[in-house]
Amino acid sequence: MTSRQQPAGLQNERTALAWQRTALSLAAGAIALTRFAYTRVGAAGLICLLAVPLTGAVLLQSRWRYRHRDGLGASTLAGDGLPGLALVLAVLLMCATGLAMVLRW
């Protein structure tokens, strides 16, 4: 019995697109939150902008990993956890900004 296999690369493409979509969504959210936070809490609201380079690094790494993973085994490019950590830090920065806005209310 033979099973149908998907062409090589589709799984990697879906994973890369998911990371890119998450990074872009968080970057857009950080920029929008900074705009609202700056009017409410002043310069303290700018701390949320630190999330943008973190999400940019995740975006670039996901593109790099997708391009270099084709034809390589999954164990060759094992995940190091840094993209996930960068996204967690970005979300924490956004939460801290949101909390500052609520406490300032």
How would you class 98 by CB atoms within 10 Å of its CB: exposed for 0-12, middle for 13-18, buried for 19 or more?
middle
The verdict on residue 7 lying in a domain is no
In a domain, 6, yes or no: no
Domain coverage including residue 29: 12-72+81-104
* Three-class SS state of 53: helix
Model confidence over 23-60: pLDDT tens digits? 999 999 999 999 999 988 888 889 999 999 999 999 99
Q: How many domains are there within the chain?
A: 1
Return mean pLDDT, the chain.
83
Q: Is residue 2 part of a domain?
A: no
pLDDT confidence of 75, banded at 50, 70, 90? very low
Domain assignment present for 1: no
pLDDT at 64 over 60: yes
The model's pTM is: 0.76
Residue 96 domain-assigned? yes
